[in-house]
Structure 1
Amino acid sequence: MTTQKTTLAVALIVKNEARMLTACLDSVKDIANEIIILDSGSSDDTEAIARRYTDKFYVNTEWPGFGRQRQLAQQYVTADWILWIDADEQLTPELAASIREVLANPPQNTIFEVARLSWAFGQFIHHSGWYPGYVERFYPTALTRFDEALVHENVIIPPGAKVKRLKGDLLHYTYNNLHEYLIKSANYAEAWAEQRFRKGKKNSLASVMMHSIGRFFRTYFIKRGFLDGKAGLLLAVLSVQSVFNKHAILWLKNREINRK
């Protein structure tokens, strides 16, 4: 455990993460004063692995969405600062050192974002709009929290708060295979569409097609996905599918309502 004066909690929300959890927790155990894990109903060895690292393991099986689940997890935090990490992510030594530097002399009213370097289909993806992919993950516990989004949740930036960047990458091991990608993509698409639908958002079938085609050009050409080689081409095609699914589900939800 770390001995810096300012205390740090590392927080995770998990479900069936046994495959990657050990590597994740090994990467943070030396900088954390406490590790908070909120499980949403794992059926694998997630809990057994988690309890090797912490006794602060909690369960909430009434899934409220990613944002609300993170809010619930933060309620268990007692440390001064909080670092969020997902079970398929790992700190690099440079990133861990950067976090220690901040905790040695913590600034006021400041949220830190980190570059996330993702591994997909056999390689790290340095283009395609994936990198650096900055995400806000590190902040004083009393300063803020995540919003209530069902998916693609974000840290709330309070008025006057500063956002600074940490040195080093957060390694993100996204998908073990295409099957995993398709399952996660489908779940995210449904949650995204439901979130938009609840807000009264509507679209047309033409806009579904335009968004999908536009995503390929953005990912492969504008975001230079071609520099990621064959994996970049695969990701560009899959991004089209992902965008199509999201917008098509939203269109179908509104179509069903209009028929009633």
Structure 2
Amino acid sequence: MSKATIGVLMIVKNESKHLAECLETVKDWVDEIVIVDSGSTDNTETIARQYTDKFYTHTDWQGFGKQRQVAQSYMTSDWVLPLDADERVTPELKSSIKKVLADNPKQTCYTLDRLTHALGKFIRHSGWYPDTITRLYRREETQYNDSLVHESVEIPKGMTKAHLSGDLLHYTFDSLSQYTGKTQLYMKSWADQREGKKRSGLTGAILHGFFRFFKMYIIKRGFLDGRHGLLLAILSANTTFTRYADLWIRDYVKQQDNKK
């Protein structure tokens, strides 16, 4: 029986800061690295081509889910390991993935725990850890869904879920400006996906923001992350408020236009 193969799937844009460090954690043991770029203006492509010849540019952006589907269409490996440029595979996680390849089961996908580093510190509470996500599956058995944002791997009926040991490290943002830049696209995509399907009001937006803070800082024990936990809870509450307020404004503007 031939050895099962594995490929890394990546979608990127302007990731020159992180890309090399991510690829260094997988370059020696994966069989292929497929990277789809949505229009980088830095030297992302130059860095990527030092690790793979499977680099493609696809600027017809239809959302994160669709972009991951495009990347998977270029893959030939038996197993798919999706990674973001700001993530790092730890030695323990690598070992557990290689064990899966040795066993090579069918109709099984794997979850893992992601440990996030934000504003100079690993966040171990606040609902951020363990951030359990599905990240290893057989290429011919499933793929990502069509979501514009917060995309996820589809789990077909009858497929088993198992869990990998070892953390995936996630170096998400080091400054508030980076946080703002990252969340702007997510907030807009979130509202785009729900516009016309979900109603919101200003009071509801305020309540959603408040409960987001309460859940993150109190229920999820964000206070154990110290001042970082407090800041992240405030930022998350503001993001949640803004998303729902955006829905309300869009609906209000449409109502005013219809009255003209």
TM-score range, shorter chain: over 0.9
Does 2:208 align with 1:211? yes
Cα offset, 1:203, TM superposition: 1.2
Which blocks of at least 5 consecutive residues in structure 2 are unaligned? Answer: none
The corresponding residue for 2:78 is 80
Aligned to 1:141: 139
- Of 167, 173, 178, 1:180 maps to 178
Instruction: Report the equivalent of 2:20.
Output: 22
Instruction: Identify which of 246, 249, 254 aligns with 1:249.
Output: 246
Q: Equivalences for 1:24-173 in 2 at 5 Å?
A: 24-173=22-171
Amino acid at match of 1:104: A
Deviation at 1:31, TM superposition (A): 2.1
**SS of alignment partner, residue 52 of structure 1:** coil
Please state how far the C-alpha of 1:176 moved relative to its aligned partner: 2.0
Task: Determine the C-alpha separation between the residues in 2 that align with 1:173 and 1:26.
Answer: 15
1:18 deviation in Å? 0.2
1:190 maps to what in 2? 188
| CA-CA distance at 1:254 after TM superposition | 1.2
2: distance between equivalents of 1:83 and 1:30? 14
Which stretch has the larger CA shift, 111-120 or 184-193? 184-193
How far 1:187 sits from its partner (Å)? 1.6
One-letter code aligned to 2:91: P
Q: Deviations over 1:190-216 (max 9, x none)?
A: 110111115x11111111111000011
Q: Is the 8 A contact 1:186 1:245 kept in 2?
A: no
Query: Structure 1: which 5+ residue stretches go unaligned?
Result: none
Structure 1 residue identity aligned to 2:43: D
Q: Check whether the contact 1:39–1:61 (CA below 8 A) recurs between aligned residues.
A: yes
Displacement of 1:186 in angstroms is 1.7
Offset at residue 15 of structure 1 (A): 0.2
Per the normalisation by structure 1, the TM-score is 0.97
Distance 2:103 2:28 in 1: 18
TM, length-normalised to structure 2: 0.97
- Number of positions where the alignment pairs a residue of Structure 1 with one of Structure 2: 256
Amino acid at match of 1:159: K
Q: Which runs of 4+ in 1 moved over 2 A?
A: none
| Secondary structure at 1:168 match in 2 | strand
Post-superposition offset of 1:257 = 1.5
Q: Tell me which of 180, 198, 201 is aligned to 1:201.
A: 198
Identity of aligned residues (%): 50
